[in-house]
Amino acid sequence: MSRLLEVNQLQVHIKTQHGIVQAVRGISFYLDEQETLAIVGESGSGKSISVKSIMGLLPKNGKIVGGSILLEGKDLSKYSERQMQTIRGSDISMIFQDPMTSLNPTMTIGKQIVEVLKEHRKDMTKTQMKDRALELISLVGISNPETRFDQYPHQLSGGMRQRVVIAVALACDPKILIADEPTTALDVTIQAQILDLMKDLQKKIKTSIIIITHNLGVVANIADRVAVMYGGQLVESADVRELFYQTEHPYTKGLLASIPKASHKGGELTAIHGTPPDLMDPPKGCPFAARCTKTMEVCRQYPPEDMLCGESHHARCWLLDERAKAFRE
């Protein structure tokens, strides 16, 4: 497998009325061909902002202030808006949480797919575009493509709309599909259908997927690798099995523990106390120190380094340092 995307020490700042929010504080990760990477984290952890900077879709008050985003060697963080327009939709596509708002309500389904082709595939004729759109509609599991082609978004259910959004995103065979909470707005039975569809499509068209979610069940279902974000930093990343079964970071452990287990029904849930840090004024040490059950003096003073604790298992925690061994046990 070869490396498709490499994000190095990415830093993003967002200017607000009250000051500068350090939304992403030096994160590094990569994506290989045909793999699925899940990015997990709470609201405000910087996961959406990170992928939006890959897409060049940061809000006007947001800015990449450091690091690089390499797509097959080309640094996207240096691209102009015009250059990004050639990348978006053709090399990298994105699907959003709410299928109701990402489709244009005044345009037929077919036209919305054709629109993308018009932009990126100038070599295609009108008939070819229509054929391709019909092909995509059936590819995402919608029956009667001919009828659906002329329908409007309001005539479809939520699950169907999300399928259309996926069809639009896949129109130009992107190398990377970024899905930002693609199933959060959907019911569980529909969620299962969409996850199956995404896995199935990945096999068929060999795209790589970055999925952002807060649902660890969804992660277990679809991901090959997982990156956990907290307070604008990447606190742990590993192969999916390793992350669930050999968890290293206390935050990841806390997340996994806060899910109710069948074994002790009705008992007290292991909650993570407190609230996430304010990224306007991030703590100088470990961002999780204030909520961690194993905080040491050093955690509040110095940010932990990225440590390797397995073949491709990284975690940022002082407990992993040699000198903390005694404390760890």
**Residues near another protein, by CB under 8 A:** 42-43, 157-160, 187-193, 195-196, 214-221, 223, 240-241, 244, 254-256, 258-260, 262, 265-266, 268-273, 275
H helices within 150-187, ranges in order?
158-170
Tell me which residue of 163, 115, 105 sits closest to 136, measured CA to CA. 163
**Residue 306: helix, strand or coil by DSSP?**
strand
Residue 98 C-beta: closest distance to another protein, Å: 13
Sign of CA dihedral 217, 222, 227, 231: negative
Query: For residue 131, what are its two tokens?
Result: 């054929």
How far is 12 from 69, CA to CA, in rounded Å? 12
How far is 142 from 241, CA to CA, in rounded Å? 33
> In terms of CB distance, is 16 or 43 closer to another protein?
43
Residue 66 C-beta: closest distance to another protein, Å: 27
> For residue 272, is it left (φ>0), alpha (ψ between -120 and 50) or beta?
beta
Residue 208 C-beta: closest distance to another protein, Å: 19
b/e per residue 187-212 (b: at least 16 CB within 10 A): eeebbebbbebbeebbeeeebbbbbb
Asked whether 21 and 30 are in contact (CB, 8 A), the reply is: no
How far is 90 from 118, CA to CA, in rounded Å? 11
> In terms of CB distance, is 19 or 260 closer to another protein?
260
> In terms of CB distance, is 131 or 187 closer to another protein?
187
> In terms of CB distance, is 73 or 266 closer to another protein?
266
Residue 45 C-beta: closest distance to another protein, Å: 9
> In terms of CB distance, is 172 or 227 closer to another protein?
227
> In terms of CB distance, is 91 or 242 closer to another protein?
242
> In terms of CB distance, is 16 or 80 closer to another protein?
16
**Angle (nearest 5°) at CA 187 between 132 and 251:** 105
DSSP assignment letter at 81:
H
Residue with tokens 């940022």: 316
Tell me which residue of 218, 208, 206, 132 sits closest to 168, measured CA to CA. 132
Residue with tokens 């407990």: 319
Q: How many residues belong to the chain?
A: 329
Residue 20 C-beta: closest distance to another protein, Å: 20
